[in-house]
Amino acid sequence: MPKIRWMNASRTLYVTREVLGLVGMGVALFWSAGRLDWWPAWAALAVMAIWTAATAFIVLHYNPDLLAERLGPRKGEKRWDAAIVPLMGLITLVRYILAGLDQRYGWTGGLPAAVQLAALALCTLGYDVLFVWAIAANAFFSRIVRIQPERGHTVATGGPYRYVRHPAYAGAILYELAVPFLLASWPALIASGLSILLLVLRTALEDRTLRAELTGYADYARQVRYRLLPGIW
């Protein structure tokens, strides 16, 4: 019974946290824009809502061990990751506020609807397809960079990991590139550029950590040569 109560409480905490994240994104976009009738913002929110729902399904039903990993104590978290993650969160918040202010004051002046729709497709591909696929294919997918010896951490080699070593980061970068065009905001693109730089840095640091600390990763890296882009890097 205590374990069941803990699982129920953990599920509630996890779902609440994810919903609050979506609410925060919506507030940042619509409050700064000063209006609710802004379809690109609703589209961006829908992309993240689908990602949140798909991730929750995987965590709560397909791979419940990830629930404890995402909510439990962060033993072994790298100091550099503890600095990068909150900074990326802050930049994300600033990006949505900038996009909303841009919408309110017309700094960018808008973009063709075809460009925004193409950007929406790329956002969906990045987060709702590639990122979710990576989570489903990796039983040790964590929000933070750490080795999980208590769970028998092994190298993920299936799904998108057959093509690049860090497919979730590749999906996130695709979203970061596309969402400013969906929201029609050049200032938001500047913020996304900073996020992309941090994602590339985090990819390099995580790859170095896995090579040094995760058994079998060095062999895997020799077989799958590219981190983010097949044939490039």
Q: In degrees rounded to 5, what are phi and psi of residue 152?
A: 70, 45
Ranges of H-type helices in 160-185 = 167-182
What pLDDT does residue 71 have? 63
Report the SS3 class of residue 17: helix
The residues, ordered by sequence, that sit 6+ positions from 106 with a Cβ below 8 Å of its Cβ are none
pLDDT for 1 equals 46
Taking the chain (233 residues) in runs of 10, the rounded mean pLDDT of each run is 55 82 96 96 97 88 70 74 93 97 94 97 96 93 85 91 96 97 97 96 95 94 92 79
Q: What is the C-alpha to C-alpha distance for residues 165 and 209, in angstroms, rounded to an integer? A: 13
Closest C-alpha to 43, from 181, 150, 233: 181
Q: Is 103 exposed, middle or buried (0-12, 13-18, 19+ CB in 10 A)?
A: buried
Q: Which of 210, 116, 195 is nearest to 165 (CA)?
A: 210
DSSP category for residue 148: -
Domains located in the chain, CATH noted: 2-223 (1.20.120.1630)
Angle at 228 between CA 203 and CA 88, to 5 degrees: 40
CB-based contact 223:156 (threshold 8 Å): no
Q: What is the pLDDT of residue 60?
A: 81
Neighbours of 62 (CB within 10 A): 12
pLDDT (0 to 100) of residue 61: 78
Which pTM was predicted? Answer: 0.91
Report pLDDT for 196: 97
202, 145 in Cβ contact below 8 A? yes
* The pLDDT of residue 6: 47
